[in-house]
Amino acid sequence: MIFQKLNNMKKSTAAIIAALLIAASVGDVYQTHKAEIEAMQNDGVDKLMASVDMEQYRAPEKEKINEIFESTEAKIRESKDQAEIDAMIEEAVAETTGFKTDAVYSMEEDGIAKLEKAIDPELYREAEKKKVQKILNSTEDKIRESEDQAEIDALIKKATKKVAEFKTDAEYTAEEEAARAAAAAAAKKKSKKKSKKRSSSQGCVGTGSDVFN
């Protein structure tokens, strides 16, 4: 009887030990799997952060990119699938490509400064000024949409050539002064002609006594 009880106790102890070993084994597997998932997530976050050089962007763009990255990181931390994490990173990077870098902004700003230096609406009279300003505004908008230096240079050249077709206020003034000078010269010449003709007529006409004498 005692022997049977001892034997049952041994079996119970063995069962408990076996159960504990199984539980420990399952726990080890779980911990290992958890560590692998965390490593995968960390690698994903590192890959995300390395995908964009934040120093290339200005403050407003940095803020927007950070918002995208924070949102994407939160999703990565919830994911347990590598393909899903890779897709999240790809989507986030695609979103950031729509933001202009500091270099692109600088190129556009330099282009607009060059355009404004080449074209001054204040040099024109009201009618021409409106047309020149319209060309200027339109070209500036196109420059802001461009990210290519050659294209920006071509836009400036085209605008400058188009504006050159309009006369400036100085050119109009010069033409008007030339026209006034020509009109004055013509009037003076005409006046001299009339004066000479009068003098000639007076020299030919004498008194009655002069004729009989």
Spatial CA neighbour of 93 closest among 71, 64, 56, 65? 65
pLDDT in tens, 175-201: 999 999 999 998 888 877 777 766 666
pLDDT value for 213: 45
* 26-35, 147-156, 202-211 — most confident range: 147-156
pLDDT in tens, 159-170: 999 999 999 999
Q: In this predicted structure, which of 3-17, 52-66, 124-138 has the lowest mean pLDDT?
A: 3-17
Mean pLDDT of 141-160: 96
pLDDT value for 193: 74
- This prediction has a pTM of 0.68
- Greater confidence (34 vs 83) lies with 83
pLDDT value for 18: 58
Spatial CA neighbour of 87 closest among 48, 115, 123? 48
What does the block give as tokens for 65?
Answer: 């990119």
pLDDT value for 211: 46
Spatial CA neighbour of 124 closest among 157, 158, 161, 171? 171
Identify the three-state secondary structure at position 146.
coil
pLDDT value for 88: 97
pLDDT value for 212: 46
Domain boundaries, the chain: 11-96, 102-169
